Chain A
């Protein structure tokens, strides 16, 4: 995926390491207007590079969802900057943010959000509708994505006939089918028993090994333990567990 240069604005250079930054939050903050105003996300710096595997952990109400929404381009930060693939998203019109979300971010939800009357392949193909993927290519790409999550044997199964773990892997395949820069998972194992959760986590591990950038938001320490970097969020403040200096609040 080519890295796009932000236009106009003075570009804050990505971190000195060679790999380009997928996510670059600079003093990004989200405050919900009051009274009293709620500082769901205090000014935060965060850089996530290509092929990183990051877990964001924190109790409920800590600002995990706000961070997810900001990174997922679902919500706009009220302060600071957010660059995705080097593109400054703050100034983009909504249609372009939607386009960026569709092309560059694969979202995986706790509730799977599969359409119940469609087969696994058809559910994955839904992600291609809005990007205008030629119809002839859709099925093969969807099948490839399902193969990548190890569901080659469930291509034509309906969600009702699949286990929770299989459903979540269909959802992961759907998030992957458009080759995003970032796979953003919100409590991916929250609805799963430990066996299914383990298989889903194995799938995520394998995807990361093949070069996919992963951000997993969870409250489950076992899930977080799989990640290479663990970031804790508490009261809207981010803190890096591993003590690396790339995360912190501007003083």
Chain B
């Protein structure tokens, strides 16, 4: 014994000990003595750790999918709102507001990383009468060839490109139409169906409150601003010439489509680039930070499932504790024998603690393996990319070890307290 003696000891008798290898061998032998019981005990930890890792893996995977859907659009989009003068004193009395410059689209698109940019606003406060016939639409006429509840948007040519349009027929109007304030319109596919417009060869027109606009294109789909599909879009300058600047309640908004990663920088630059003289009249809204988005989507779900996993783990712990305790009581004779052979209480405690720790580790390893398989299967079934965070997956078996140690503490203490005399009487 290398340990310095603290109490008087007899020099001739070396203290008994248990080397690590013997400890491991004895513990493993104890576990293997009852394979069926060992398997059932391991199952508890397996389920606990498995649930833990699987929940983390599945939520991370699902979250990855959600954010990949979101990020393509959300992370490459900046909106700039026309908020008017920040000083309320200057705002009062203004019936209309338009703080974007005439060349707003071009100014925004010149920013590094910007792809397309354009402004839009709702032209009418109350839904206008939209039909394919001239003259005021009566209730009867609206039934067949008119449509109610349609919105008319003023949209700059750049906006039509920024929303990621798919045309079913025709073309988008462009800066030529816009600068000449031409009466053209692009309509959404839903509007086209409701108005009965399918063929643009005859240059059909829609009448908005009696004013005709030649339909040049029909939008089949858009990636952004899906309500445009239910709307009639007319060039921004045409709208301002016909109906004046937008009302404060329907103030113009600019949508900037950016390259990936450029959005937040562009959000900083846009107001100054658009209105060097009055940047404070414009307010840029950057895309939400990726983490904030993900957390808000799945944060609450995560904690609920983790709670369940924790409960499973506790049940697993109780299972190990119970089995180890039963095993201790059952092996009282063996413990007494070991004590008579020179085992000290700490050797007995170490053996049972090691047994439960090995059981826990085994459960942790198997649980982690099973949960990885589960996560991969679910991801494959949904055509998702499986996401397993190495920082939670790799240490997961250690949770099992800790569980085992925790569960084994009390039985090990009980075992250590068994007196050789009582045990050997059996």
B contact residues around A69 at 8 Å (CB): 421
Query: In the bound complex, how far is the Cα of B340 from the Cα of A103, in angstroms?
Result: 10
B26 touching A4 by the CB < 8 A rule?
Answer: no
- How would residues 1 to 30 of chain A score, 1 for a CB under 8 Å from any chain B CB and 0 otherwise? 010100110000000000000000000000
A99 touching B342 by the CB < 8 A rule?
Answer: yes
A113-B336, A117-B33 given; A96·B15 CB < 8 A: yes
A contact residues around B336 at 8 Å (CB): 113
User: Does B204 touch A at the CB level, under 8 Å?
Assistant: no
A75 to chain B, nearest CB (A): 6
Q: Which single residue of chain B is at the shortest CB-CB distance from A108?
A: B340
A127 to chain B, nearest CB (A): 5
B contact residues, range: 35 or more
What are 18 contact pairs spanning A and B, CB under 8 A? A65-B421, A69-B421, A87-B10, A91-B8, A92-B9, A92-B10, A95-B15, A98-B339, A99-B342, A101-B340, A102-B341, A102-B342, A111-B426, A126-B337, A127-B341, A130-B341, A132-B16, A135-B21
User: Does B304 touch A at the CB level, under 8 Å?
Assistant: no
User: Does B180 touch A at the CB level, under 8 Å?
Assistant: no
A contact residues around B425 at 8 Å (CB): 65
Q: Which of A90-116 contact B (CB under 8 A)?
A: 91-96, 98-104, 107, 109, 111, 113, 115-116
- A99 contact from B15, B334, B339, Cβ within 8 A: B15
A74-B420, A115-B334, A130-B18 given; A96·B13 CB < 8 A: yes
14 further contact pairs, Cβ within 8 A, besides A87-B12, A99-B15: A7-B8, A87-B13, A95-B15, A96-B13, A102-B16, A102-B341, A103-B13, A113-B334, A113-B424, A126-B341, A129-B22, A130-B343, A131-B342, A132-B16
Q: Which of B8, B32, B424 has the most CB of A within 10 A?
A: B424
A contact residues around B15 at 8 Å (CB): 95-96, 98-99
A contact residues around B419 at 8 Å (CB): 74
Q: Which single residue of chain B is at the shortest CB-CB distance from A138?
A: B22
Query: In the bound complex, how far is the Cα of B347 from the Cα of A135, in angstroms?
Result: 18
Query: In the bound complex, how far is the Cα of B10 from the Cα of A74, in angstroms?
Result: 18
A74 to chain B, nearest CB (A): 5
B16 touching A98 by the CB < 8 A rule?
Answer: yes
User: Does B125 touch A at the CB level, under 8 Å?
Assistant: no
A123 to chain B, nearest CB (A): 10
A contact residues around B16 at 8 Å (CB): 95, 98-99, 102-103, 130-132
